[in-house]
Structure 1
Amino acid sequence: MRPASEPQRLLVFCDGTWCGPETNTRTNIQILAEMTGIDMKNPRGSRELEDPARKFRAKYFNGIGLGSTFFAYLFNGATANDIGDTCVEIYQYIAQYYREGTEVWLFGLSRGAYTVRCVVGMINNCGIVKNPSRDLCDQVYRIYSSPYVADKPSSAQSEEFRKRASWNVATPIKFMGLLDTVGSIGIPSLDAGNGPSYQEEIPKSYV
């Protein structure tokens, strides 16, 4: 029997570039999502599950580049142009269902792992907002991605934002499972005369 005090868990699964049921890929992220009970075989499924008995809610997010036109599929997959929107979508999902004491578990593959790191950075910067409107979540992403000192997590401005808008919790992130993490468009390497190129996988020399 589970103890009554067992915390609610939010599970988030972020797949890699062009990875998702519509491309007939099968990644470790999809396998993990299936283990929670999410139906990955139904093409019209929500990829979301709530299990009150086991006290968790879980959602799977397609990899960057899916869910739009063929041109957007190519462009967004190659450039990660839509990664900001994806980060905001995932952050808003977490904020929508977060309550005091909730544990947040995030899993990501490749660019999905990078996305997880960004979302956790947003939480580190601004906390988890209590009223997650799209405008406010967009503001959180702007603050997180800002180059200005006034927007750093330790700044007085960020501290005031967290006190005013967010849950008073120091460490809502319980676990991050990052598989083959990369930058938003891979790791840049310079090729003489050809400019930068990008690798989707981290070479063994990177730690």
Structure 2
Amino acid sequence: MAAPKMLLVFCDGTGGDGLITDDDDSTHNTQFPTNVVRLSRAIRPIQYLPNGQPIVQIVLYQSGVGSEADIAGKEIEGDDVRKAFGIALASKIRDAYAFLAHNYSEGDQICLFGFSRGAYTARKVAGLIDRIGLLNGQEMGSFFKIWSSLVSNINPPPRPANVPPIKCVGVWDTVGSIQDGLFTAITDMLNIKDSVLPANVEHAFHGISLQENRGRFLPVSWSAGPEGLRPGQVLKQVWFGGAHSDVGGGYEHHELSDLPLFWMASEIQAFVAIDLDYLIHTCHKNPNQPWGQAQPHNSLDEEPNPITRAVYGHETRLESGHITPDAIFHESLRLAPTVLTCIEPERVVTFNDLREKFGKDWVPTYAPLNNFEKKCKEQWGKLAPSAHAPLANENFSKQETPQGFVSELANPLKLLSRL
């Protein structure tokens, strides 16, 4: 029997391509790496178990929907409808599933990560594995037939007796799915519930944006199935300050998205070998504010195209009911500003709005920092600008910056390409 290995799949958000981003803050960047890119680059090739046994860690990084670029790294114009409505998302799901099916052997571990629509991809792959298992090479010849039967719900296959376990699904700000036209969303794709945590997932982590305000970017939270979480199953969903890409990464100034990145790394480091020295050097070198006090973006009103703004619509996650009194908030939100300096600040929620909504007796619940997060907080703003300058009394080394927005699109066919 072959030695066990770990398969890690990283699914980026719409338009995101980590292979055309740089590891510095150079002004020619049109994209800055998301947290998906940054975490994927921090995975060590081998992890060693306590008994010394080596486990190979194999990474697949998958660029986002609509990220196709030419030889010079320029976006390829063309299939705007597919980009806008997320139709190509199905191909991303199939590709990720096929990678796992072709490489998995019994005893291997699987981890899936994603941001935005990439988060939806990662979660749907987990659900598909829970529904049909992982097909072998011969069975993959019938994969699309099985896929089609799930889509139509006509003669779908029975559930397999043995389903491969998934060690972890870690995602940032999952937003759904596929648009069937301008105003209708396809939910529960493949007749697999979007919001239900599959029973075969051992650890599930979801960092969610508190201050995203685009109506078409409402989050898809997880819930336990009808029987609740199974024994030993872990589900953590934590709200972070900032807009969509303040949580999943993508802005040049990434003081806010550093925090959910370090949180995710902290949660998975018990079973994934991560180069934390590298990872901490990807944090913002010259933060404008102390830890946790950076200003959020206003995603909707920073959008320059008025037609696009109209299509997205304004709806906060407090108005939509996604933020509830029993939500779990990141420790940094204790320090988050309540006086905002972004465009149209009254259209972005703060903790003052939550207190007004939930009443004066409401006491928020905060997730405590773990050891790595505490270390990052202690070193906040102390990193030298050099990409390789070591920290005092620490072994941390290396740098990079996050992924930014694709250029805004005036063509009406592209209006939803940032979903």
- Contact 1:122–1:140 (8 Å) recurs in 2: no
Q: Based on CA coordinates, which of the two structures has the bigger radius of gyration?
A: 2
Deviates more, 1:23-32 or 1:5-14: 5-14
**Aligned-partner residue type, residue 37 of structure 2:** Q
Matched, 1:18 2:11: no
Match of 2:119? Answer: 113
Post-superposition shift, 1:81?
Answer: 1.2
Match of 1:206 among 322, 325, 334: 322
Q: Render the CA deviation track for 1:130-177: whole Å, top value 9, x for unaligned.
A: 1167643323432443334x42xxxxx424xx4xxxxx7434211000
SS of the residue aligned with 2:16? coil
Post-superposition shift, 1:122?
Answer: 1.4
Equivalent-residue separation in structure 2 for 1:102 and 1:133 (angstroms): 19
Q: Percent identity among equivalent residues?
A: 28
Post-superposition shift, 1:83?
Answer: 1.3
Equivalent-residue separation in structure 2 for 1:51 and 1:137 (angstroms): 31
CA root-mean-square deviation: 3.0
- Contact 2:134–2:164 (8 Å) recurs in 1: no
Relative to the length of structure 2, the TM-score reads 0.36
Matched, 1:80 2:86: yes
Equivalent-residue separation in structure 1 for 2:32 and 2:139 (angstroms): 33
Equivalent-residue separation in structure 2 for 1:201 and 1:140 (angstroms): 30
Following superposition of structure 1 onto structure 2, how do residues 173-184 of structure 1 map, counting pairs within 5 Å?
173-184=166-177
Equivalent-residue separation in structure 1 for 2:167 and 2:146 (angstroms): 21
SS of the residue aligned with 1:92? helix
Equivalent-residue separation in structure 2 for 1:26 and 1:139 (angstroms): 36
Relative to the length of structure 1, the TM-score reads 0.70
Q: Render the CA deviation track for 1:167-192: whole Å, top value 9, x for unaligned.
A: x7434211000210011148xxxxxx
Post-superposition shift, 1:17?
Answer: 0.6
Post-superposition shift, 1:51?
Answer: 4.9
**Aligned-partner residue type, residue 145 of structure 1:** V
Q: Are residues 121 and 139 of structure 1, via their aligned partners in 2, closer, same or farther at CA, if it must alter by over 3 Å?
A: farther
Q: Are residues 79 and 129 of structure 1, via their aligned partners in 2, closer, same or farther at CA, if it must alter by over 3 Å?
A: same
Matched, 1:136 2:142: yes
Higher helix share: 1
Q: Are residues 85 and 196 of structure 1, via their aligned partners in 2, closer, same or farther at CA, if it must alter by over 3 Å?
A: closer
Match of 2:78? Answer: 71
Following superposition of structure 1 onto structure 2, how do residues 17-36 of structure 1 map, counting pairs within 5 Å?
17-21=14-18, 22=20, 24-36=31-43
Equivalent-residue separation in structure 2 for 1:13 and 1:66 (angstroms): 15
Could you tell me which runs of 5 or more consecutive residues in structure 1 were left unpaired when the two chains were aligned: 38-49, 152-156, 163-167, 187-193
Post-superposition shift, 1:20?
Answer: 1.2
Equivalent-residue separation in structure 2 for 1:135 and 1:85 (angstroms): 16
Match of 1:123 among 126, 129, 132: 129
- Contact 2:129–2:163 (8 Å) recurs in 1: no
**Aligned-partner residue type, residue 158 of structure 1:** P
- Contact 2:109–2:166 (8 Å) recurs in 1: yes
Post-superposition shift, 1:18?
Answer: 0.7
Q: Are residues 143 and 121 of structure 1, via their aligned partners in 2, closer, same or farther at CA, if it must alter by over 3 Å?
A: farther
Could you tell me which runs of 5 or more consecutive residues in structure 2 were left unpaired when the two chains were aligned: 21-29, 48-53, 70-75, 186-214, 220-316, 324-419
Deviates more, 1:98-107 or 1:16-25: 16-25
- Contact 2:85–2:178 (8 Å) recurs in 1: yes
Equivalent-residue separation in structure 2 for 1:178 and 1:139 (angstroms): 29
- Contact 2:10–2:113 (8 Å) recurs in 1: yes
Equivalent-residue separation in structure 1 for 2:167 and 2:86 (angstroms): 27
SS of the residue aligned with 1:70? coil
**Aligned-partner residue type, residue 60 of structure 1:** Y
